[in-house]
Chains A and B, each alone.
Chain A
């Protein structure tokens, strides 16, 4: 990896280009077909929780320290791995709808998100990128998995939500 690809080590923010270089970004044709997991886990962490989490065996690793490899064709974007990833590093993006994109993010803050409520959409740097409606929210061991509507051009930017108290 060149110096550029390791930019995230000094910023804590990973760009789309870095994700693509690491093979963590699904091809555009796949994104257009429907929900799919994006694993923003660029380091060799000794962890394979996502591999066990996936019922469809869409995530694989040879060694425990490998970067997760998602089989985009097997993945249906169900979000189970979003709930279980200890690094809260997995998101689901759905670009199949004509007007809006759907982004699914983990959420571990109060208050708990509610369906149809408007929440703040946050970028990887915490910037408020606008508001979006919650279309789905479920919880597993205190991690909420929240799907929000976002403008299509922000599908690769929105990676968290904030619910106003």
Chain B
């Protein structure tokens, strides 16, 4: 069965029922000293995967082959040496003519060229609002603050705006005025277009917010430039990362996050595998399985450890109609293969989720998708000293916040999956709510703004989240949402070491 593919094969998708892939001009670059081709606009990781590269590095201790996992800059699986700089996240590094890419074997060597000398400049940025994250929540937040004349800077680690919207090919649920009915990538393109065309918004791509400092300073690191910003308010919409599972063989190339596979196939038009096993039947597992089918792959099964399907019935029905089995009360026992996934063993479980001996089944496949939930990316809040709580329903540790989305660090706001795992529609709603809260705080209470914010809050909490399908996420968010008075009390007991704006 297919295991190690020949280099220079092409996994690119050339026809697709939903997407038209606009590929840039061809560029040549070097992989392990060998000249290879890519299309402009691709990330280095995507370009390598497209030509059949499965192994991105060899692990530090045992030198085991490692493949890419999340494809959105949240994990470390695609670290490579790029033009001499080790530990470069190749999934968010655009490919360019002549770039030299090498696999790391073991611990990386300290760079002898590049690095510090690449920093061309540093700048103190003047802005009212700093938005960290360019996904649905961040873009909606920036549009809200910019609308009311606040100077807004968006920093985004990726070289494209839009976040995870860019890989969503399904039509969004919700209502017409919430972009419902449009496909996710279409919403992403529309929000990005609005942001790029807004004179009050400055966008810094490939820029990382690396820390919050004394006196309300935020440090940003761009490609060749460092920025220091002292905004009057910060909105952090840093998203989430995909969860991983423990099982023998889980580090084999070809074990990939469902979102990672979705990025490859829907953003870059690269087929992540031919025969797929999906682990987890939440909406992500169901939707990505359906999209793999659309892209031309065969999905052998979706396994779900619980007795019921995790995601919405309509998503499950979509994959069932095309013959994809959803095996409830099943889990992954092991993944096997030499240098890449060649198959997996699944097993039935009893009521206590213990594998039932004798029920093992081998499935030949070249891709195992891990779709077992997400963890909010709240590192900046933790670093800033925001009061946080571990909330299983939210997906991990999240900061306490008011209804208006301000956390215990005055002037610091949260929106989107970082605030607790939910979905893109609620991320857009939270983004706008956080943006309007900043407007209220910085520009004074305006009836129009307050009214809009109340309308959004009411819709979000009383209508949208009233669905039993949102109950878990709602309970998680409820448990960390406090009143303004409670937040003042929390601040008394946990005096913030930093704050933004004038209070």
Most A CB within 10 A of own CB, among B183, B294, B317, B318: B317
* B464, CB-defined interface residue at 8 Å: yes
Asked whether A122 and B467 contact (CB < 8 A) given A86-B173, A109-B17, the answer is no
Q: Which residue of A lies closest to B302 (CB)?
A: A12
Beta-carbon contact of B315 and A87 below 8 Å: yes
Contacts of A65 in B (CB 8 A): 463-464, 466-467
Q: B13-33: which residues lie under 8 A (CB-CB) from chain A? A: 15-18
Bound-state CA distance A122–B470 (Å) is 31
- We find that the number of chain B residues with CB closer than 8 angstroms to chain A is 45
Q: How far is the CA of A43 from the CA of B308 in the complex (A)?
A: 14
Residues of B within 8 A of A159 (CB): 317, 321
Contact A10 B328 (CB under 8 A): yes
A85 to B173, CA, bound (A): 8
CB–CB B308/A87 < 8 A: no
Q: Which B residues lie within 8 Å of A41 (CB)?
A: 313-314
* Inter-subunit contact B313/A43 (CB<8 Å): yes
Contact A64 B313 (CB under 8 A): no
- Contact present for A46 and B470 (CB under 8 Å): yes
The closest CB in chain A to the CB of B324 belongs to A126
Q: Give the CA-CA distance A21 to B344 in the complex, in Å.
A: 40
CB pair A43–B469 under 8 Å, yes or no, is yes
Residues of B within 8 A of A118 (CB): none
Contact status A49-B173, CB under 8 Å: yes
Interface presence of B3 (CB below 8 A): no
CA distance A124 to B171 in the complex (A): 21
Which B residues from 302 to 329 make CB contacts under 8 A with A?
Answer: 307-309, 312-324, 326, 328
Tell me the nearest residue of chain B to A161, going by C-beta: B321
Asked if B248 is an interface residue, CB under 8 A from chain A, the answer is no
Given known pairs A124-B320, A124-B321, A126-B323, the reply for A43 and B15 (CB within 8 Å) is no
For residue B175, CB closer than 8 A to chain A, the reply is yes
B296 neighbours in A (Cβ, 8 Å): 110
Nearest Cβ distance between residue A79 and chain B, in whole angstroms? 15
B356 to A: closest C-beta gap in Å: 17
Query: Contact at A47–B180, with CB atoms within 8 Å?
Result: yes
> Is the C-beta of A25 less than 8 angstroms from some C-beta in chain B?
no
- A10 and B281 CA atoms in complex are apart in Å by 10
The reply on A76 being an interface residue by CB < 8 A is no
Q: Is the CB of B316 within 8 A of A46?
A: no
Q: Is A40 an interface residue (CB 8 A)?
A: yes
Nearest opposing residue in chain B for A143, CB measure: B171
Indicate if B181 sits at the interface (CB-CB under 8 A): yes
- Complex-state Cα separation, A41 to B116, whole angstroms: 57
Task: Give the residues from 66 to 98 in chain A that come closer than 8 angstroms, CB to CB, to chain B.
Answer: 84-89
Within 8 A of A (CB), among B445-467: 463-467
Interface of A is mostly: loop
Please tell me if the beta carbons of A89 and B314 are within 8 angstroms of each other in the complex: yes
Judge if A104 is at the interface, Cβ distance under 8 Å.
Answer: no
Contact, CB under 8 Å: A14 / B17: no
**Do A126 and B171 touch across chains, with their CB atoms under 8 A apart?**
no
Tell me whether A45 is interfacial, beta carbon within 8 Å: yes
Q: Is the CB of A12 within 8 A of B172?
A: no
Q: Are B307 and A10 in contact (CB under 8 A)?
A: yes
Chain A hits for B111, CB < 8 A: none
By the criterion CB–CB under 8 Å, are A45 and B312 in contact? yes
Whether A125 sits at the interface, judged by CB under 8 Å, is yes
Q: How far is the CB of B305 from chain A (nearest CB, A)?
A: 13
How far, in Å, is A87 (CB) from chain B's closest CB? 3
Task: Kindly state the interface size class of chain A when it binds its partner.
Answer: 35 or more
Check A45–B467 contact: CB distance below 8 A: yes
Given contacts A12-B326, A86-B170, A122-B322, contact A46 B317 (CB under 8 A): no
A1-41 contact mask (Cβ, 8 Å, vs B): 1 or 0:
00000001111111000000000000000000000000011
Instruction: Determine if A49 and B180 form an interchain contact, defined as CB atoms under 8 angstroms apart.
Output: yes
- In the bound assembly, the distance between CA atoms of A88 and B201 in angstroms comes to 37
B336-351 interface mask toward A, CB cutoff 8 Å, 1 = contact, 0 = none?
Answer: 0000000000000000
Tell whether A127 is near chain B: CB-to-CB under 8 Å: yes
Q: Is the CB of A126 within 8 A of B17?
A: no
Could you tell me the distance in whole angstroms from the C-beta of A8 to the nearest C-beta in chain B? 5
Question: Does A52 interact with chain B (Cβ within 8 Å)?
Answer: yes
Is B301 located at the chain interface by the 8 A CB criterion?
A: no
Checking B171, B313, B320 against A9 with a beta-carbon cut-off of 8 angstroms, the contacting residue is B313
Does chain B have a CB within 8 A of A57?
no
Bound form: Cα–Cα A159–B318 in Å: 10
Q: How far is the CA of A115 from the CA of B314 in the complex (A)?
A: 27
Cβ of B197 under 8 Å from chain A:
no
B320 touches A126 (CB 8 A): yes
The reply to whether A12 and B464 contact each other, CB–CB distance below 8 Å, is no
When A49-B180, A110-B15 are in contact, do A43 and B314 touch as well, CB less than 8 Å? Answer: yes
B308 CB, nearest partner CB in chain A, Å: 5
- Nearest chain B CB to A47's CB is how many angstroms away? 4
Nearest CB to that of A125 among chain B residues?
Answer: B320
Query: Using Cβ atoms and an 8 Å threshold, which residues of chain A touch B318?
Result: 87-88
Look across to chain B and name the residue whose beta carbon is closest to the beta carbon of A90: B314
Question: Which residues 116-165 in A have Cβ within 8 Å of B in the complex?
Answer: 122-127, 141-143, 159-160, 162
Q: List CB contacts (< 8 Å) of B87-130 with chain A.
A: none
Does B293 sit at the interface, judged by CB under 8 A? yes
Q: Is the CB of A13 within 8 A of B320?
A: yes
Nearest A residue (CB) for B423: A46
From A50, which residue of chain B is reached at the shortest CB distance? B181
Give the chain B neighbours of A110 by CB distance below 8 A: 15-17, 294, 296
Min CB distance A80 to B, Å, is: 12
Contacts of B176 in A (CB 8 A): 49, 52
30 contacting pairs across A/B (C-beta < 8 A): A9-B309, A10-B307, A10-B308, A11-B326, A40-B317, A41-B314, A42-B313, A43-B468, A44-B467, A45-B173, A47-B174, A49-B171, A49-B180, A64-B175, A64-B463, A65-B466, A86-B172, A86-B173, A87-B173, A87-B315, A108-B17, A110-B294, A122-B322, A124-B320, A124-B321, A127-B323, A141-B171, A141-B182, A160-B321, A162-B322
Given A65-B467, A126-B321, 5 other A-B residues pairs in contact with their CB atoms under 8 A: A12-B326, A41-B313, A45-B469, A86-B181, A108-B17
